[in-house]
Amino acid sequence: MSPATTTSAAAVRATGVGKVFPTKAGEVVALTGVELEVRAGEFVSLIGPSGCGKSTLLRLIADLDPASSGELSIFGKPAAQARVDQDYGIAFQQAGLLPWRTVASNIGLPLELHKVGRAERTARVAELAELVGLTEFVDRYPDQLSGGMQQRVAIARALASRPKLLLMDEPFGALDEMTREYLQSELTRIAAETEAAVVFVTHSIPEAVFLSDRVVVMSPRPGRITDVITTDFGHDRDDALRESPEYFERVTAVREALHGVKVERANER
Asked if 223 touches ligand ATP (CB under 6 A), the answer is: yes
72 within 8 A of 93, measured Cβ to Cβ: no
Interface with ligand ATP (CB under 6 A), residue from 1, 10, 47, 54: 54
Asked if 261 touches ligand ATP (CB under 6 A), the answer is: no
Cβ closer to ligand ATP: 9 or 20? Answer: 20
State the chain's maximal CA–CA distance in angstroms. Answer: 61
CB of 70 to ligand ATP, least distance (A): 16
User: Which one of 54-62, 145-153, 171-179, 248-256 is the stretch in contact with ligand ATP (CB under 6 A)?
Assistant: 54-62
User: Which one of 22-30, 80-88, 103-111, 177-185 is the stretch in contact with ligand ATP (CB under 6 A)?
Assistant: 22-30
Asked if 56 touches ligand ATP (CB under 6 A), the answer is: yes
Residue 37 CB neighbour total at 10 angstroms: 13
Size of the site for ligand ATP (CB under 6 A): 13
Pairing outcome for strands 224-230 and 214-219:
antiparallel
Asked if 28 touches ligand ATP (CB under 6 A), the answer is: yes
Asked if 173 touches ligand ATP (CB under 6 A), the answer is: no
CA distance 158 to 92: 10
Asked if 161 touches ligand ATP (CB under 6 A), the answer is: no
Interface with ligand ATP (CB under 6 A), residue from 2, 4, 6, 21: 21
What is the contact surface with ligand ATP in residues (CB under 6 A)?
21, 23, 28, 30, 48, 50-56, 223
